[in-house]
Amino acid sequence: MIRIPTRVLVALGMLGLPAVSIADDLITRTTNNYGTPGGLIDMPTAETAPDGELTTNVTYFDGFFRTTLSFQITDRLSGSFRYAGTEDITPQFSTYYDRSFDLRFRLFNETDFTPAVSVGLQDFVGTGLLSGEYIVATKSIGDRLRVTGGLGFGRFGSYASDGSVGTRTPFSFNQGGTGGQFNVDDWFQGDYAFFGGASYQATDKLLLSAEYSSDNYDTAQAAGILKRSIPWNFAATYQISPNTSLRAFALHGEEFGASLTFNLNPKNPAVKGGTELAPLPVAVRGPRSAEDLGWTTQPGREQAITASLDRSLQQSDLDLEGMTLSGRSAHVRIRNDKYDATSQALGRTLRSMSRELPPSVEMLHVTLIENGIPASTMSFSRTDLERLEHRPAREALAAARFTDTLRFGDYPDPFPTTYPRFEWSIGPYLRTSLFDPGNPLRADIGIRAKAKYHLGSGWIVSGSVGQKVIGNLDGAVRPNNSQLPQVRSDVDRYNRTDEPFIENLTVAKYGRLWPDFYSRVTAGYLERMYAGISGEVLWKPVDSRLALGAEINYTHPRDFDQQFGLRSRVTPGGTIPEFNGHVSAYYDFGNGFHGQVDAGRYLAGDWGGTIALDREFANGWKIGAFATFTDVSASQFGEGSFDKGIRFTVPLSWLVGTPTKQKASGVLRPLTRDGGQRLEVDGRLYETIRESHRPEVAKSWGKYWR
Burial class (CB in 10 A: 0-12, 13-18, 19+), 162: middle
498/589 same-domain check: yes
pLDDT at 16: 43
DSSP code, position 485: -
The answer to the question of residue 386 being in a domain is yes
260/328 same-domain check: no
pLDDT at 479: 67
Backbone angles phi, psi at 353, to 5 degrees: -65, -40
pLDDT at 583: 98
Helices first, then strands: H and E counts in the chain: 12, 35
349/443 same-domain check: no
Cα–Cα dist 674/693, whole Å: 35
Report the SS3 class of residue 609: strand
Q: What pTM was estimated for this model as a whole?
A: 0.91
The answer to the question of residue 243 being in a domain is yes
* CA distance to 68, 98, 261, per residue, from 84 (Å): 8, 5, 15
Number of folded domains in the chain? 3
Contact 138, 47 (CB under 8 A): yes
349/446 same-domain check: no
492/623 same-domain check: yes
Q: What is the DSSP string of 70-111?
A: EEE-SSSEEEEEEEEEEEEEETTEEEEEEEEEEEEEEEE---
Task: HSE, CB side, 13 Å, CA atoms: give it for residue 283.
Answer: 19
**Helix extents (H) in 197-285:** 218-222
544/395 same-domain check: no
636/536 same-domain check: yes
Q: Check which CATH number belongs to the domain holding 369 and give it.
A: 3.30.300
Q: What is the pLDDT of residues 282-311, one digit of tens each?
A: 999 888 777 778 887 888 899 999 999 999
Residue 480 CA, distance from chain mean position = 29
Contact 400, 421 (CB under 8 A): no
212/183 same-domain check: yes
The answer to the question of residue 396 being in a domain is yes
Give which of 293, 691, 685, 284 is closest to 522, Cα–Cα: 685
Average pLDDT score, the chain? 91
Cα–Cα dist 245/237, whole Å: 7
**Helix axis angle, 342-356 to 301-315, nearest 10°:** 140
Last residue of a domain, one of 218, 246, 264: 264
The answer to the question of residue 276 being in a domain is no
311/235 same-domain check: no
Residues of the chain with pLDDT under 50: 1-23, 176
Residues 133, 137, 139, CA angle at the centre, nearest 5°?
155
259/222 same-domain check: yes
Domain span holding position 634? 421-696
Q: What is the pLDDT of residues 573-598, one digit of tens each?
A: 999 999 999 999 999 999 999 999 99
pLDDT at 706: 80
450/301 same-domain check: no
What is the sign of the dihedral through the CA atoms of 342, 345, 349 and 351?
positive
